[in-house]
Structure 1
Amino acid sequence: MPSSRVSSGFSKRFRLVSILSLSLIVFVCGLTMTAKSADKSESPAKVDYSAEMPRILPRTPEESLKSFRIHPDFKIELVAAEPLVRDPVAMCFDARGRAYVVEMPEYNDAHKEGYSSVKLLEDTDGDGVFDKSFPFLTDITLPTAVFCYQGGVFVGAPPYVYFCKDTDGDGTADVREVVMEGFGRDKGDEGMINSFRWGLDNRIYFSTGIDGGMVTVTAEGPGKKFNTKGRGVVLDPATRKIELTTGGGQHGMSLGIWNRAFVCANSIPMQVLMYDDRYIARNPYLAPPPAPVDIAPGGKFTKLMRISQIEPWRILRTRIRAASAKGDYEGGKPSGFFTAATGITVYRGDAWPLKYQGNLFVGEPANNLVYRAAPKPDGLSLVAPRADQNAEFLASTDVWFRPVQFENGPDGSLYVLDMYRELIEGAPFIPEEVLKHIDPIGGQDKGRIYRIVPKKFQRPVMPDYTKLSSKELAALLDSDNGWTRDTAQRLLYERQDTSIVPELKQLALSSKKPITRATALWSLQGLNSLDTNTLLKGLHDQDPHVCIQSLRIAEQFAEDSQVQQAMISLSENESLLVQYQAAFSLGAFQSIARNQALAGLLTQDVENKWMRMAVQSSLKQGAGEVFALLLQNSELLKNRQAQGFLTTLATQIGAQSEPENVKRVMVALETLSKSEQKLAQQSFRNLLSRASASTKQVLASSKSKYTAQLLSGMMKSTIDQATNTKLPVKSRVGAIPTLSIGNFDETLPVFEELLSVQQPLPIRQKAITTLGLVNDDRVAELLVEAWPGLSPQLRMSAVEVLFSRKPWQVALLDAVKAGEINSGDISPERVQLLKSSQDKAIKKRATALFQNQRLTGRSDVIKAYQASLKLKGDPANGKVVFKKNCAACHRLENVGVQLGADLKAIKDRGTEAVLLNILDPNREVKPQYVTYLLVTTQGRTITGLIKTENANSITIARADGTSDTVLRIDIEELISSKLSFMPEGFEKQINQQQMADLLAYLNSIK
């Protein structure tokens, strides 16, 4: 659901519990906004604000309709309102033109649940306005999505996805089957599963938001679970089985005309997903960059042209907040930029002029408007600049207007879902003294649905698609309206009527519309009736988008030699997008010609990181051959990106258990000239960095003098580079990781030298983290010995290393007991992890050693630090506090590391609540900010925050500011600690006055 700058979107369990759910967002230094003045002259506890808080009353649907300002070429029409519908957050149209609408009146209601519903709306007189409502599905909790199929609907209501159907025609579902179970149900009701969309491939796609979940699928049986965190779901509605794909965003996911996926999140208005995780999953040695890419040039701070008044409570909150910022009443803008982006939707209809097809629409309910962008190509990605220059596409003067979702309709227009609420922000994030003047559930009995159409729009007469013959449905694939094509294709897939195969082939071969040709091809595939000749025509189509769709289909025909040849030929297509898809699709088979084509793609587009990634996704097989082919191109080897790809590929080859590939690499490296020996050494170094047993065996048994020279020369040059104080620090740091693959007897003295206090901080930092890769008991001894000379930052890194292996944890406990390491150097949450260790001996010792340290029961500390709320803070001093204590995990004013959330939103939280977050972060932890323990197959334990994840890898961000990307094939175990990534004990670092200064500084940020 959307959120605002004040909160993240649809929050339900408000007040203290939900406030605390954001504890991790404030990581280490605990972000802040002043809800209570530090200025004693205006203490919220003593001032009655009722006189400045006049209620803004709701308007009737007719009055609200008059409040809109819309693009001059369009008009907006009301099609449904209360009492017919309340709090709409999602909808879909069935084949008869009826609308299933998801209602969420539970939003912001802290005391009740289970009274949300799905309504079935019908226009009985054909005037384009819904006039009848049926309680299709009642008494459900927090429904978020709906999609029509086989006369019923799939309904997302975390933790469930149901299939519901009315079999007796009374408008009420009498079938409610659980299709999936286990999706996350966020305590703030934000970022849950949403946006069920029909794909060209006859599948339903949906987003899991930010909550994910370990999901069981009824059709798969109880034994199989899917980890959906950070992923998207692809449902085959016929078999009800699923696959996982790329995820992203919070609430809102849309598929474009050609199935390109777009997502959004609170302050991120528009992102495009650059790849499908299912391709990435084929090569488990590939760690790709994050798939979501921002495409709105202005991002969060795109200037929004709001026309509604700023609510009195926002003004009051700003003034209260600014009282501690030396009179800066605004302390930043209270509105006018993205804080609640939601419901991103691609317009795919035919009622509007053609130039609008493909436009992106995003709701901004906190600003009472709808934003439009017009995407255009930017290499393999897109850029989506503002489409309306002097006013928003749609805006309202009614502050209750809350556009949270959109839907393309059967009539080719765009529908807008308006929750119509007094407060779209989560109630927990409004200061208590302000909240008492607002009704947090105001509007839960209201809701509107609008339709946007051109001024001279003539509504078409819509047939009942369920009564059309299959031939008539096939003809509708030629429609310019995306909803019509989707519905016709879906009904054909449901019917599985192969009698219309000739008509579909004719469309695939002869339609003048590229989208029709592609849809017909997928429809044939959905009927298991696509023949090779028709597919080959698609692969040779003149339109690049048809070629792309044909390549995706062709992956299922890859055993056919003609299909292989056609797929390979598309690697030389003039369209970069076609080449990109070819790089993925060629992974469906293996041949010499295919390897040559992949090498050719690299040669053409080696500068493009997405192309490099796509090629590697297809190289679980053939990596050695492609490596050797690329090494034959001396010009290519001069390119730094090419060198990087080769060394990355060498790492994969070394990790794989394919001796022939290792031999190919070594033979290829031996052919390099003297000027290319640096590349040879780096490739060899990477080959060894994660070498499998078979790789080591190949190298150990090699009689090649060249291999022996590389092996002996590698460590010598590495040691020379790492220890040479005359070299730039960056160059020395780059050499240190290679020490981890050397003989520790040889590298131990080197590490001792690099850890000495005379060395620059980055050298010592890298030496410590590199030691974590060395599996030798002497590592712990070395770190304990170096401990007295380590700074607090380095000690944090050393603790991370010592935690990474059980024998080192024992050494750490020994050092604490002996007094060589102060127990205070180990953060409370790390202590808790030791106390809850699965190793009984470690657990027992930790419990005894740290018996006076506890993770909960923070009431005394919180009580003591209430005094800081009454002190006058100095922002300048607070900035110093931030740099010293918070910058390791947060970034403000170009200082620090961005591990936690964006602190620019801190102005929207009350100081008292934020203080509670800082001092007691583990009362309630949001899912995305929980500390995880990742155990590798090599025995390492990595603890930290899951920063990103995809089909193949997980990136763990540590508390010391470093991070590790671990391939899933190297993960033995991944465990949630259920503890906040934000550590306890902040009061040990700053006193009450410093806390007041810190709060004042955070509040002063504009």
Structure 2
Amino acid sequence: MHNTPAILLLTALLASACSSKKEDHSTESSLADLKVYDGLEATLFASEPMFSNPTNISVDSKGRVWVCEAYNYRNALNPKNPVKAGGDRIMILEDTDGDGKADKSKIFYQGTDVNAALGICVLGNRVFVSCSPNAFVFTDEDGDDAPDKKEILFTGIKGEQHDHGMHTFTFGHDGRLYFNMGNEAKLLLTATGDTVTDIHGRKVVNKGKPFREGMALRCEPDGSNVEVLGHNFRNNFELVADPYGTVWQSDNDDDGNKGTRINYVMEQGNYGYTDEITGAGWSVRRTNMEKEIPFRHWHLNDPGVVPNVLQTGAGSPSGITLYEGTMLPEAFRGQLIHAEPGHNVVRTYTVENDGAGYKATVVNLLEGQKDQWFRPVDVTAGPDGSLFIADWYDPGVGGHQVGDLDRGRIYRVASPGTGYKIPEVDLTTPPGAVKALLNPNTDIRYQAWMALKNFRGEAEAALLELWHAENPRHRAQALWLLARLDNKGDQYLQEALADKDPNIRIAGLRATRQMKKDVLQAVGKLINDPSAQVRRDAALALRGYNTTAAAQYWASLARQYDGKDRWYLEALGIGAHGNWDLYFNAWKKSAGKDWNNAAGKDIVWRSRSRDAIPLLAEMIRASDELEMLRYFRAFDFHTDPSKQQVLTKLATEFKDSRVLYALKHMDATRLNITPALLATLNKVLDENKGKLEFVELVSSFRLQNKANDLLDICIHNPDSASGKEAAKTLLGWNRIDLFQKVLNGGNKDASQSLIRALWPHMWNEKTMAVMRGIMMDSTKDIEIRSLAVRTFSGPWEAEDYLLALARDNKIPKDLHRAAVGVFQTAWRSNIREDGAKYLRLPGSKEGASLPSIAVLVDKTGDASKGKTVFKNLCSTCHQVNKAGVNFGPDLSEIGDKLSKEALYTSILYPDQGISFGYEAYRLRLKDGSSAFGRIVSETEDKIELQYMNTQQTVKKADVVSRTKMESSLMPSNLQASMSEQDLVDLVEFLQGLRKGNLAAR
């Protein structure tokens, strides 16, 4: 249910709605469609009507599956969906006879305060439920499967009924709770309403001081000692800690950018969703910007951003677990298993060491083949080692909407023919509790951990057996408890720090920090460790130590950096945070003249020490252009005033592109502009006039005397980055007067261009007011006014603004069709539904208004009759199988490209989506005449235009101006030539035009 690109979601929903009558969505059919890893079997554990729409699951020590339902998920955005008045439910599903199928269900809790809860974690008699704005703890004190107590653990979390809010809790092997929250959560409050302050004294608020966007956190089981582990995620849906204390999670990209990822959460790391310093979005232009959007999305070229373990392309990453059982094959043991509903798959990530970090490869565990409704959203292990998978089961995923409220499935993956038998657990003795500690089920492991903690010294002998075992994961589990033993804990920590296994040494250092022992002494033992991963954690452990000894340790670790391992470099940066001058100077002194190599340059690039600033300039002087960009970008992360002088010197001593970049990276608000610098600035502006660089410098130096130059760029380059950024700068300066001068000047082409330049900024109230003024001015050209209406399409703020105008009957009648086009092509269903209430939809030839597109897509037509409609009305512009006129796009395979929804949109509201290459142009010629049509050919001296079946050739020398039209070449009232049934038949015919489907032609 999380974050598939909106157009894919809408297409999926509508396509499924159209075909649901023909498809079989029974449990038998969906189960048969699943492909499971060789040697395993997938069976249906439970399904509707026991429950529906599962968002998250937890399996308790009895093997029962607890489910968060989301029947009431975002119903405000889809008025057609019914509402469960009593609120959503927390369900308990039980298999009483061990056959692997639930035969009993009960409601643990129901209420509107858990509507669309995104997380559930059962630990003993406590049930943690995450539902923004609250994180609840329900306590069942008498074991009757009903809560005796409901408490708020945390509150104030934003993102109510939003996927990007508070997510689930899980129990770590170190005895702490781990949880995360997406970028809409904003902040964390205590139950009494105070802002949570973490153990490092930082307010848990994502406003950039110091945290940004989504966060990964941990705390004690009672909610105390909160610590932010990492930040600047987008929608990190769930995390898990392995036995060594390494934390893993998935994160979701902005829809449509193919940048979803798997993270190793390096403690205190910044993960780059937004600019660390400014908070700017990833798409904002910056120096040394990554070439490919999936990497640009995470600011991976910026110093101070932790790398990704794996980028998994498009998708909707959801629940994740770490499998500690033995029932599944070796490929899954000790590995991350992840639910990915966007790809209809549950898969494992086989993790390998990669320098100081990790890399991973993908192995599919369970995948939907033809049934695209398989939407696995969570995965967790049962007490017997089998795996339980929650299937949201829906035609779409993400975007706050849902297409099916009544279905939902839970599958069990196990060895073939294996019944569901729950192992006996004995927590009354230390040996029994140690055995239970190794169970793959989180609840059993939690109860065992608490029992062993309470046994104190009595548990030592049983834990020692585990500590001396061969399996390093089991040894690490023992260590976290042995480290707590009175008078003995230090001994085991020292043994761990000297262990032959690097993962045990890492766990030993982490346990030393958790127990607040002598961290510097522990780091001193590991600074020359052969494992880069151990040294990585040693660097992280130095964070916050403002001593000469710590600085020397850091310098020693930095001298071992190989100049290639980004994980190691970022660990050094995290460790030095807050003490950069001290640590950097210790390294520089130890490196001496040898600092200027690949490794040393990287450390300078990553450093935030004031003493790194002149070294950056030295590196720029000696670098090629690619390196130069990297080093210039590093200046943006320095706040010391000395960088202004260093950049000024660079700007005035060179005559190449370094001058431009030196100017771009100055902070003009803190700069003393000397005559020499001003002359340099003016020279660069003259050289770049009309370019994006010109706009950036004018904006940065706040040169408001260049406002008219920016306006010219808007008009002459409206669709380029320079035009859009120029408009943005003028909006920031509130130069609405300049916009009005153009819009009221009578130049239609200039007005159209300016509107296009302003279009990307329709979230801005100033822009909306400008567009409203154009709409309401009946003296203006109707094409200009219609274009102004269309700019309200896209940003929610703009759509809501236009809808309010429609509700108040303030949209002029001659613009109703354009406004209806905005509403009917909106992604949010409430905009489509409400828009149809207030404005008359296009009419058929019978004169009556057509129903909304959402209603039309549910209708079934006669493709053979639609073919006749096409020949009569559409073949004068379009071809199918070479029959017809080659003017508009060829429609021979249009059914493979567009859903029914998109086809109706193209016919009823053609201006809303003009196909690339089929834009109309108007050419003004020297003799005062004009030429109009689609450009089909252009050479150095001629332009060939086509309109319908007429072609015209124009000499370029005769062209005075060229203007791209904002209206489609397709007639805007084509539906008036058809009955409603004709239209439905036509779309049925077009939908059947697919590759190889000759019968439809």
Asked if the contact 2:728–2:761 (Cα under 8 Å) also holds between the matched residues in 1, the reply is: no
- The whole-number CA distance in structure 1 between the counterparts of 2:30 and 2:618 is 75
Aligned counterpart in structure 1 of residue 665 of structure 2, from 733, 737, 749: 737
- The whole-number CA distance in structure 2 between the counterparts of 1:1005 and 1:748 is 62
Matched, 1:771 2:701: yes
- The whole-number CA distance in structure 2 between the counterparts of 1:641 and 1:907 is 53
- The whole-number CA distance in structure 1 between the counterparts of 2:909 and 2:398 is 17
Aligned counterpart in structure 2 of residue 614 of structure 1, from 562, 571, 587: 571
**How far is 1:178 from its partner?**
2.4
Structure 1 counterpart of 2:250: 263
- TM score, norm. by length of structure 2: 0.63
Instruction: Flag the 1:415–1:813 CA change in 2: closer, same or farther, 3 A.
Output: closer
Structure 1 counterpart of 2:83: 112
- The whole-number CA distance in structure 1 between the counterparts of 2:765 and 2:968 is 33
- The whole-number CA distance in structure 1 between the counterparts of 2:631 and 2:366 is 57
The correspondence of residues 332-411 of structure 1 with structure 2, limited to 5 A, is 339-363=315-339, 365=341, 369-387=345-363, 393-395=366-368, 401-411=374-384
Structure 2 counterpart of 1:55: 22
**How far is 1:519 from its partner?**
2.2
Q: Which amino acid aligns with 2:575?
A: S
Matched, 1:761 2:719: no
The correspondence of residues 249-260 of structure 1 with structure 2, limited to 5 A, is 249=235, 251-256=237-242, 258=244, 259-260=246-247
Q: Which amino acid aligns with 2:445?
A: D
**How far is 1:545 from its partner?**
1.3
Matched, 1:863 2:817: yes
Task: Provide the aligned length of Structure 1 versus Structure 2.
Answer: 767
Structure 2 counterpart of 1:272: 262
- The whole-number CA distance in structure 1 between the counterparts of 2:460 and 2:180 is 36
The correspondence of residues 153-168 of structure 1 with structure 2, limited to 5 A, is 153-168=127-142
**How far is 1:117 from its partner?**
0.9
**How far is 1:349 from its partner?**
1.4
Asked if the contact 2:331–2:350 (Cα under 8 Å) also holds between the matched residues in 1, the reply is: no
Structure 2 counterpart of 1:977: none
Structure 2 counterpart SS, 1:756: helix
The higher-RCO structure (CA 8 Å, 6+ apart) is 1
Of the structure 1 ranges 77-86 and 789-798, higher mean CA displacement relative to structure 2 is found in 789-798
Structure 2 counterpart of 1:718: 651
**How far is 1:155 from its partner?**
0.9
- The whole-number CA distance in structure 2 between the counterparts of 1:690 and 1:397 is 49
Q: Deviations over 1:811-836 (max 9, x none)?
A: x4787799999996884897986769
- The whole-number CA distance in structure 1 between the counterparts of 2:760 and 2:448 is 54
Instruction: Flag the 1:867–1:97 CA change in 2: closer, same or farther, 3 A.
Output: closer
Asked if the contact 1:164–1:173 (Cα under 8 Å) also holds between the matched residues in 2, the reply is: yes
Matched, 1:594 2:550: yes
Aligned counterpart in structure 1 of residue 310 of structure 2, from 295, 306, 309: 295
Asked if the contact 1:192–1:250 (Cα under 8 Å) also holds between the matched residues in 2, the reply is: no
Q: Which amino acid aligns with 2:220?
A: D
Q: Which amino acid aligns with 1:607?
A: K
Instruction: Flag the 1:527–1:198 CA change in 2: closer, same or farther, 3 A.
Output: farther
The correspondence of residues 431-830 of structure 1 with structure 2, limited to 5 A, is 442=404, 444-455=405-416, 457=418, 461-464=422-425, 468-469=428-429, 472-477=432-437, 479=438, 481=440, 483=442, 486-492=445-451, 496-500=454-458, 502-503=460-461, 506=464, 509-524=467-482, 531-556=489-514, 560=518, 563-605=519-561, 606-632=563-589, 633=591, 636-640=594-598, 642-646=600-604, 648-649=606-607, 652-654=608-610, 715-721=648-654, 724=655, 727=656, 729=657, 732-733=660-661, 736-738=664-666, 740=668, 743-746=672-675, 747-756=677-686, 761=691, 763-771=693-701, 779-783=703-707, 792=717, 793-794=721-722, 796-798=724-726, 800-801=728-729, 809=733, 812=735, 827=758
- The whole-number CA distance in structure 2 between the counterparts of 1:185 and 1:476 is 37
**How far is 1:411 from its partner?**
0.7
- The whole-number CA distance in structure 1 between the counterparts of 2:744 and 2:664 is 26
Aligned counterpart in structure 1 of residue 150 of structure 2, from 132, 154, 176: 176
Q: Which amino acid aligns with 1:627?
A: F
Q: Which amino acid aligns with 1:56?
A: E
Structure label with greater radius of gyration: 2
Asked if the contact 1:219–1:239 (Cα under 8 Å) also holds between the matched residues in 2, the reply is: no
- The whole-number CA distance in structure 2 between the counterparts of 1:639 and 1:104 is 56
- The whole-number CA distance in structure 1 between the counterparts of 2:906 and 2:204 is 35
**How far is 1:544 from its partner?**
1.3
Instruction: Flag the 1:144–1:905 CA change in 2: closer, same or farther, 3 A.
Output: farther
- The whole-number CA distance in structure 2 between the counterparts of 1:427 and 1:849 is 32
**How far is 1:231 from its partner?**
1.7
Q: Which amino acid aligns with 1:537?
A: E
Instruction: Flag the 1:451–1:288 CA change in 2: closer, same or farther, 3 A.
Output: farther
**How far is 1:535 from its partner?**
1.5
Q: Deviations over 1:586-640 (max 9, x none)?
A: 2253433432332233333233233222212222354234333443536753335
Matched, 1:236 2:220: yes
Structure 1 counterpart SS, 2:500: coil
- The whole-number CA distance in structure 2 between the counterparts of 1:862 and 1:640 is 63
Instruction: Flag the 1:257–1:911 CA change in 2: closer, same or farther, 3 A.
Output: farther
Asked if the contact 2:123–2:443 (Cα under 8 Å) also holds between the matched residues in 1, the reply is: no
Instruction: Flag the 1:126–1:486 CA change in 2: closer, same or farther, 3 A.
Output: same
Q: Runs of 5+ in structure 2 lacking a partner?
A: 76-80, 198-202, 207-212, 279-301, 746-750, 778-787, 793-797, 806-810, 826-841, 843-872, 880-895, 914-962, 973-992, 996-1001
Asked if the contact 2:156–2:193 (Cα under 8 Å) also holds between the matched residues in 1, the reply is: no
Structure 1 counterpart of 2:296: none
Aligned counterpart in structure 1 of residue 189 of structure 2, from 216, 236, 241: 216
Q: Runs of 5+ in structure 1 lacking a partner?
A: 10-18, 20-31, 37-48, 301-337, 430-439, 655-661, 700-709, 773-778, 838-842, 877-903, 922-987, 998-1003
Aligned counterpart in structure 2 of residue 147 of structure 1, from 121, 137, 150: 121
Instruction: Flag the 1:543–1:480 CA change in 2: closer, same or farther, 3 A.
Output: farther
**How far is 1:549 from its partner?**
1.9
Q: Deviations over 1:382-405 (max 9, x none)?
A: 4433436xxx74546666544332
The correspondence of residues 845-864 of structure 1 with structure 2, limited to 5 A, is 856-857=801-802, 863-864=817-818
Asked if the contact 2:728–2:758 (Cα under 8 Å) also holds between the matched residues in 1, the reply is: no
Q: Which amino acid aligns with 1:754?
A: V
Instruction: Flag the 1:113–1:277 CA change in 2: closer, same or farther, 3 A.
Output: farther
Instruction: Flag the 1:671–1:733 CA change in 2: closer, same or farther, 3 A.
Output: closer
Q: Deviations over 1:647-699 (max 9, x none)?
A: 553xx334xxxxxxx6x999x99999x999x9xx999999998887xx76xx8
The correspondence of residues 63-82 of structure 1 with structure 2, limited to 5 A, is 65-82=31-48
Asked if the contact 1:33–1:909 (Cα under 8 Å) also holds between the matched residues in 2, the reply is: no
Q: Which amino acid aligns with 1:151?
A: N
Asked if the contact 1:471–1:500 (Cα under 8 Å) also holds between the matched residues in 2, the reply is: no
- The whole-number CA distance in structure 1 between the counterparts of 2:520 and 2:355 is 26
Q: Which amino acid aligns with 1:487?
A: Y
Q: Deviations over 1:34-62 (max 9, x none)?
A: 989xxxxxxxxxxxx9997743234355x
Instruction: Flag the 1:646–1:682 CA change in 2: closer, same or farther, 3 A.
Output: farther
